[in-house]
A and B are shown apart, each in its own frame.
Chain A
Amino acid sequence: MLFLAMKQLFSKKTQTFLILMGVSFGTMLFVSISGVQLGLREYMIKALLNNTAHIIISGAENEITEKEVRSQIYPEGRFINWITPPGGKRDESKLESYLGWVEILRANPDVYDFSPRFSTNVIIKSKKIKTNVNLVGSLPKKQIRISEISDYIIEGDFESLSSGGNKIVLGVGVAEDLGVSLGQFVDVLNAFGKITPFKIVGLSKFGDTRTDSALAFAHLSDVQKVNRTPGRLSEIAVSLTDIDKSEELAELWSSFSKDKVQDWRSANAMFMEMIKMQDIVRYFIMFSVLIVAAFGIYNVLSIMINQKKKEIAILRSIGFPPKKILILILYQGFFLGICGGVVGLAMGSLVTYGVGSIDIGVELGGSNHIFVSYDYSIYLSAFIAALFASLVASLIPAYMASRMTPIDIIRGQA
């Protein structure tokens, strides 16, 4: 039947070509729109993960509870009516047992690497200008491994921090506010007003002005020293080999520790909501496009069946059963779907490539091109959808064709 199906399709070249164009165009549209959307998303996730990480382990809030206080002061079972129940924080939150975590993280094959961090608010001063900055201390080599931080360093380099000895990477905004540049020194003031000079070894730019004018990086031990809290950590940033396991692992780890374990998704719930919306829009586009393509296929096949009634009658009188007539038409729909789909995928990837190479004149994360994605899942879903649409669209004409009896057709002709 394949032989006949192909013969019939190719005898109507213009029609076949037009509908192929339709299917291809739909598939192309979906592939390129998805490519740009997912590319942008990948970029945003990447940018997001620089400030967070797949999983952040931080110290739990150190709250004073009513029960604790009561058991300290009053004997068991005594009823107490507080006018104001005891509450508030006992201490700033800090990570309970770093070494315990190191053991857990090292033993887990899903953990790619992790970096302990300690961040604190400081004032950075140059001559008479001061600015408030969140100073993040990390182990630079580890931080480079678990994030894309290097991509966002526009001058100097992040790795220079690794030797320690009071070196600092400033956000470009900070450097601008202070009027300093690479190689110069700035003064870092801690909460007690003590000044430590730091040498600028790099400038970072994330593209977000607020971040860039309020963020600085230094070696973990330098920051601990500035804050006079040697050994203190605020968090451990964990990078996994598979980002999709972050939720699962975060849940597991928080179940056996007092520390707060949060995965990047729950830390960025708003962003995830937006992604969901984008997906809905994308699938809506795909759905609409496919409906159009399906109507095209349906039309072409219906017209073709009308034109080929006589031939269907001949095939039936020769002994081709209705089932084979059905298959004959389905094959043609399938062919349109597969070919249109494949061509559409190719065109879609070309368009994606084209869009990806447009220079938008704005630098984003180390490149001034629109981010695009060539993720295989886009191509797979587009192809499956094209195939599905063409199959559904050819079912009705195929069924109608198989239901026609040779006599009705011949009578209709005569």
Chain B
Amino acid sequence: MIIGKNIVKEFGDPPHRILHDLSFVIQDGEFVSISGRSGSGKSTLLYIISSLDFPSSGQVLFDDEDTSLMSVEHIHEFRTNHVGFIFQFHYLLPELTGLENVLLPPRNIDRVDEFRDRALELLKTMDVSKVADKLPSQMSGGEQQRVAIARALIMKPKYLFADEPTGNLDSANGEVVMNILKSINKERGTTLCLVTHEEEYAAMAQREIYLIDGRMSERG
């Protein structure tokens, strides 16, 4: 369970408030979308919810653990073991093959060999087995995003955070990626938090957090 308590985020000096006192609860296994217009603060909120960033005031609690109070080691270990990220730009390491990219999180804890079979299986599930030995530069955008999803799932994370994962894909590929994410949430029970500005995808969620200039209006 993720609890957001009075989250405020300000940038700059003099401080400019981007997020205004947001509070919410995301249950385990839930699929929540964060939508709103460009610049409304979606990404900012997602980074804070996902422990990549911290609120100016307020708290984010993962099962009662405050992210702002975690040590540097702990927060990185937490990310490796429990959190999967998917970004709009696929952010694969260009010098690594598809398989090596998927195996990055296990590499962080020196358990590459244990996870090799699972990595191959995930690539198969994502229908991108054929790019296992290819470099990102030899893959299409859709293939890259699916490899990135496989990487996000390799450690069987409890939480999956996606920031406009379809934003850089054509609609056919976008659809495929959305279906994959949805089935992950359904079949594996992974908590899914999806940022999108596309109405259609936002509506696929069980619950929708709609942001207008950093203020929340919940629908769904």
Contact = CB atoms under 8 A, between A and B. Distances in A.
Interface in B66-101: 72-73, 76-81, 83, 85, 87, 89, 91-96, 100
Q: Which of A311, A321, A406 has the most CB of B within 10 A?
A: A321
Contact of A317 (B72, B85, B94, B95): B85
Interface stretch (A5-13, A208-216, A231-239): A5-13
B37 to A, nearest CB: 15
A4 B107 contact: yes
B80 A318 contact: yes
B93 A324 contact: no
A413 to B, nearest CB: 7
A320 interface: yes
A318 B52 contact: no
Contacts of B78: 319
A156 interface: no
B87 A320 contact: no
Given A10-B95, A319-B80, A321-B73, A3 B85 contact: no
Given A10-B95, A11-B95, A410-B87, A319 B107 contact: no
Interface in A307-355: 310-311, 313-322, 324
A407 interface: yes
Contacts of A8: 95
B79 A319 contact: yes
Contact of B91 (A4, A10, A310, A324): A310
Nearest to A3: B107
A389 to B, nearest CB: 26
A314 B91 contact: yes
A317 B86 CA distance: 10
Nearest to B82: A319
A4 B94 CA distance: 11
A11 B52 CA distance: 28
Contacts of B76: 316, 319-321
Contact of B95 (A7, A322, A413): A7
B115 interface: no
B216 interface: no
A314 B89 CA distance: 11
A223 to B, nearest CB: 79
Nearest to B97: A7
A324 B108 contact: yes
A311 B92 CA distance: 7
Interface of A: 3-4, 7-8, 10-11, 310-311, 313-322, 324, 405-407, 410, 413-414
Interface of B: 43, 47, 52-53, 72-73, 76-81, 83, 85, 87, 89, 91-96, 100, 104-105, 107-108, 151
25 contacts: A4-B93, A4-B96, A8-B95, A10-B95, A11-B95, A314-B91, A314-B93, A314-B104, A315-B93, A316-B76, A317-B79, A318-B79, A318-B108, A318-B151, A319-B76, A319-B77, A319-B79, A319-B83, A319-B105, A320-B108, A405-B53, A406-B52, A407-B52, A410-B47, A410-B87
